[in-house]
Amino acid sequence: MDKINSGYQLPYASFEIDPFILLAKNANSLAESSEACAELSLNVHDNTRTELIPNLPEDKTTFIVPVILAADSMSLALDAAVKARKSEEEALYAALTRAETLLERQQESARSLEEEIVSLNQQVETIRHNFTSAADSPVTVNSSSSEAKTLLSTLEKTYKKHNQLKSCREKITESQANIDYIRSRYNTASERLKALEEQLPLVKERLDSTREYFTAGAPQPDEEAPQEETAPARVKAARPAAQARGRIAATIWSYAKIILVAILLAFVVRVYVFDITRVDGLSMYPTLNDHDDLIHLKITYLFSEPQRGDIVVFDAPDAVGKDYVKRIIGLPNEQVTIERGQVYINGKRLNESYVDGAYTVGDINTVLPDGFYFVMGDNREISRDSRYDEVGLISIDRIHGKAVFRVFPFNDFGVIE
């Protein structure tokens, strides 16, 4: 995977964890903005108390509305900062949990591969011993030839398993680096949240004291007003305008909340539910055509495992920043064999109606480790897929989602079969 060095991001990109990090990053930005607003409001508040109170006239009711509105705005900024920090902390906790689960899965795959390699090495030693013994006897030439072929085949399997183990260990190293990063970010977010929660009651106490100071002695609605137009009368006359402004502000805020919720929902849908992918090439012909626009569901594999026959979108192992669209053929822990143009799963021939009887090029005989899938395009003659070392087996963390619907061209609009 590509290493990332910029800003609030994982050291190594991960499809399963990146959405949580993006959510935490956005929450952190909101928190920093809210904290800056709260700090500015507090400075204004303190300056107001320091400079305004000594110069107040005897009747201070004129200042009630602006002072209380200013105090309320600061309270809102502080509340927003606390909620944003909580959102950041929760997103990081979810990311940490997912990363640890992914690491455990990768470690289990590595252990499984190590056991397979040990078994294959033992087979190699046995075959070598038999081959050496057979070579000393001139009457067993055909047997020796068979042993030599078996030895080469077993050595090839061992080599592939070593490569898979190397790749798996690299992923384990990347996952551990991601976990260390997320844990550090989580601890920082928790400390900031704790500091805010400790600060909040102290600041609100100062704001309450300001409110009490300015509202103390304010005339009640049923008190008799003086005959002449005094300062309280002017305040009373100004209240309808202030109330109207308050209603306008409340209306604007209600619309702003609707817009913010809509943006948040759109973000959640795009990150967690579905996305649109364009097919590039004819590797999935006749099922899919070049430039078909597909909807692939991301949420599908959050609740279930990929199944044989699923058309999936995944990170191209041999082309950074590019996605491939292929069909899942082999599942974890299954034996996939391609022999004489046919595909076999655990020794049983696979019925593939989607290839329309096409010959499958390749000489494959491999057992898939846990968490890895064997994928191929329906157009077997030109598809670049798991048959080639540059692509190889596809791990679950590379799969973005399941392609389920074609939205363009319109004459092929509908569910993908």
Catalytic residue list: 283, 326
DSSP state of 225: P
d(CA 343, CA 334): 13
First to last CA, the chain: 32
DSSP state of 125: H
φ, ψ of residue 366 in degrees (nearest 5): -145, 150
- Quick check: 150 and 125 in contact, CB under 8 A? no
DSSP state of 416: -
d(CA 310, CA 306): 7
- Cα-based angle 22, 40, 88 (whole degrees, multiple of 5): 20
Within a 10 A sphere around the Cβ of 17, how many other Cβ atoms? Answer: 23
C-alpha to C-alpha distances, 135 to 87, 345, 362, nearest whole angstrom:
71, 35, 32
C-alpha to C-alpha distances, 121 to 108, 125, 154, 334, nearest whole angstrom:
20, 6, 8, 21
- DSSP character string of 142-162: HHHHHHHHHHHHHHHHHHHHH
Helix (H) or strand (E) holding 325: strand 323-330
Q: Are strands 293-297 and 274-278 parallel, antiparallel or unpaired?
A: antiparallel
C-alpha to C-alpha distances, 107 to 113, 115, 170, 379, 396, nearest whole angstrom:
10, 12, 11, 35, 14
- Which two three-digit tokens encode residue 54? 């000594």
- Quick check: 201 and 34 in contact, CB under 8 A? no
Q: Is 316 left (phi over 0), alpha (psi -120 to 50) or beta?
A: beta
SS3 content of the chain, % helix, strand, coil (to 5): 60, 15, 25
- Cα-based angle 168, 169, 172 (whole degrees, multiple of 5): 90
Q: CB-based contacts of 167: which residues, under 8 Å, 6+ apart?
A: 392
